[in-house]
Amino acid sequence: MAASTCFFQSSSPLPFNFKQRNNQIHISIFRIRCYNTSQKHSSVVTLTTDPPPVYSSVKAFAPATVANLGPGFDFLGCAVDGIGDTVSLKVDPDVHPGEISISHISGQTPNIHKLSKNPLWNCAGIAAIEAMKMLRIRSVGLSLSLEKGLPLGSGLGSSAASAAAAAVAVNEIFGKRLSVDDLVLACLKSEEKVSGYHADNVAPSIMGGFVLIRNYQPLELMPLKFPSEKDLYFVLVTPEFEAPTKKMRAALPLEIGMPHHVWNSSQAAALVASVLQGDLFMLGKALSSDKIVEPKRAPLIPGMDAVKKAAIQAGAFGCTISGAGPTAVAVTDNEEKGHIIAQHMVLAFQKEGNLNASANVKQLDRLGARLISSVHLN
């Protein structure tokens, strides 16, 4: 009767590259050499293992974002400092290995009860699952808690912030093995289910700063560096009015004429140039000059046209709809001036749109989604 003796050829994991969407992640392999005692020959069997967690728990934050920036529909966006969503993630022996559960959702956000705890129907859950698939996690289960700092359907990248925080949390707990592109692709799975396959929220939420999406197939992301010595403030005024992204996208034209195409292309180019040069005057002009998307969406947000006029009359360099709305975003170079502009915008929403509104004056977030705390494994 034939018998075999097997032993580990190496006592430590060996590096191996596994291709994942044109990027590489590292997983561990072990080689086992087996000797057949009757036939006197050996064979090598390679076994793959998923990466072990390096933390027992982590907490990650992802910032709010302003997508489109006027003429940059679906290909330009930026991150906003100080507001966003937070995800806490822990290794949980009560969760089936390779799976994730959502244990808690909290926050002062209106209609937070609408968010599902089923990870297959939650933005954070979908992105976390996708990140786990990329890492081939099979040996541990995870439990996720979501703290919403952004209102739903606000035009501030609420779904993207949840997805970004979750994807980064998964990546961090397993030792930061995924690339930036991987993280954005994981979040795009979430966005695709919620509002469409567009990265102008998730990319800046992951990367920080201004981001241009040059291509989707394959994904090509271009960070645009706004000069660090320049001051840039976003005046964000959010009315008590929900504008679901799917509804706002349905209002857009399926075709546009050549004159509008040429105009918007030139404004988008001017916007990119002004970001790189730190030219706020030109940035504001380009931001305010969309002739394709904003004219279709503004009538669906009560008082939006009056709010834009009020912002510019109060001294803003420019104003437009943030993402799909209903938040209006204006730009300025001074925080005190930003609060004055915000007051005029809030009053315009009240007077012309019969809507109460809240305001934030925030700077550019240059860091993107990040780890804010962690607990090492014992």
Note the residue count of the chain: 378
pLDDT of residue 48: 54
Q: Tell me which residue of 65, 159, 117, 3 sits closest to 366, measured CA to CA.
A: 65
Q: Tell me which residue of 169, 142, 139 sits closest to 49, measured CA to CA.
A: 139
- DSSP-derived pairing of the beta strands 100-107 and 142-148: parallel
For 233-363, which CATH class? alpha beta
| Residue 281 parent element (H or E) | helix 280-287
pLDDT of residue 321: 97
Cβ within 8 Å of residue 247, ≥6 positions away:
300
Task: Evaluate if residue 28 carries a pLDDT over 90.
Answer: no
Residue type at 61 in one-letter notation = F
DSSP 327-349: -EEEEES-HHHHHHHHHHHHHHH
**Across residues 36-47, what is the average pLDDT?**
46
Rg of the chain, C-alpha, whole Å: 24
Read off the pLDDT of residues 108-137 as tens digits, 9 standing for 90 and up: 888 888 899 999 999 999 999 999 999 999
Q: Tell me which residue of 34, 31, 60, 225 sits closest to 128, measured CA to CA.
A: 60
Band of residue 249 on the pLDDT scale cut at 50, 70, 90? confident
| CA atoms of 146 and 134, how far apart (whole Å) | 21
CATH classification for the domain delimited by 29-222+366-376, as one of 1.10.10.60, 3.40.1130.10, 3.40.50.2300, 3.30.230.10? 3.30.230.10
pTM of structure: 0.86
Domain ranges of the chain: 29-222+366-376, 233-363
pLDDT of residue 12: 38
| CA atoms of 163 and 183, how far apart (whole Å) | 9
Largest interatomic CA distance in the chain: 92
pLDDT of residue 279: 97
Q: Do the first three CATH levels of 29-222+366-376 and 233-363 match, i.e. the same topology? A: no
